[in-house]
Amino acid sequence: MAQPDKPGGKQKPKREHDVHVRGTIYTNLSPDEEKRRSAERKQDATAHETERKIDLGRESHKVWLERFTLLAVIIYAGITCWQGCLTRESITNNTKQFQIDQRPYVWDNNVRPGVSIEPNQKMWANIVMINFGKSPALKTRIVGKIFVGPNAMSDADSCFTQIGDNRFQENPADTGTVVPPGIPAPVQPLSEQELAKPIPSGKVRMENETFGGGGLFTIMTDDVLKQPDVDYVLGTEQSAVLVAHLEYFDGFGNVYMSNICLSRFKNGNMPHCTRHNEIR
């Protein structure tokens, strides 16, 4: 059926049950339930805070433990390094001390050497040497001279100044000699004839059966003595000065030196000079 007010149009069917409901639903908890839930929230918050503090504490302890561990490792490494250095230093010192204790000490026998003072000959002297150390003196080489005249002592001073700490030049043809250790037993002093056995200058002749170890070396003047020189030597105090410089090694390759200086008096005694006598 068409509506009279809308000619030619179709009339929409009428919905009799189309209902729209709008609004908000409010619910309220009871006071007891609110208190219970509030207590639970507080308890949860407290538990969470406690767990957080525990975690922070654990992390803090872990960090401190790591730091202490690192510090302990550093200290241990430092102590180990220090002990290693001390050990090496101790070994080095012990080795040096052992070498010093075992080193050779070559010196004369503190006995008047045999000498020859004759006109038209060079003045020469045989000086007995002894190794007072505990190990052999290896590659022992010697240089020596006798100075005669009023300037003998000053000439000896100049000689030792020139020698200084200079080493012998290497010479394949001169390997030196070996002076074994050993202090000779007390024996009767050698006669002038026994001591007056010339050997080449700067060389050593080993006579263990006579000296009980060591040997002797011969030094002499550069020039032949004339009669006035002989008279001066025999009649003047400290008229002649005998000097010798020895270089020798131990088994470790360490080099040592001995300087010997003797001066002659009118009575024939030849004590050590007041200077230039040293072992180093």
DSSP 223-259: EEPPHHHHHHHHHSTT-EEEEEEEEEE-TT--EEEEE
Lowest mean pLDDT among 8-17, 54-63, 266-275: 8-17
Q: How confident is the model at residue 208, as a pLDDT?
A: 37
Using an 8 Å Cβ cutoff, are 263 and 153 in contact?
A: yes
Mean per-residue pLDDT, 156-183: 85
Q: Which has more pLDDT, 48 or 249?
A: 249
**pLDDT band at residue 10 using 50, 70 and 90 as cut-offs:** low
What's the pLDDT tens digit per position in 208-242? 334 445 678 889 999 999 999 999 999 999 999 99
* The CA-based dihedral angle spanning residues 21, 23, 27, 28, taken in that order and rounded to the nearest 10 degrees: -150
User: Does the structure show a pLDDT above 80 at 38?
Assistant: no
User: Does the structure show a pLDDT above 50 at 207?
Assistant: no
**pLDDT band at residue 121 using 50, 70 and 90 as cut-offs:** very high
Mean per-residue pLDDT, 157-170: 86
Q: How far is CA 265 from the centre of its chain?
A: 46
User: Does the structure show a pLDDT above 80 at 42?
Assistant: no
Q: Where does residue 212 rank: exposed (0-12), middle (13-18), buried (19+ CB within 10 A)?
A: middle
Does the pTM surpass 0.85? The reply is no
How many angstroms separate the Cα of 177 from the Cα of each of 11, 201, 206, 236, 246?
148, 13, 9, 36, 11
Which residues partner with 171 through β-bridges?
Answer: none
What is the Cα–Cα distance from 206 to 272, expressed in whole angstroms?
24
Mean per-residue pLDDT, 171-192: 72
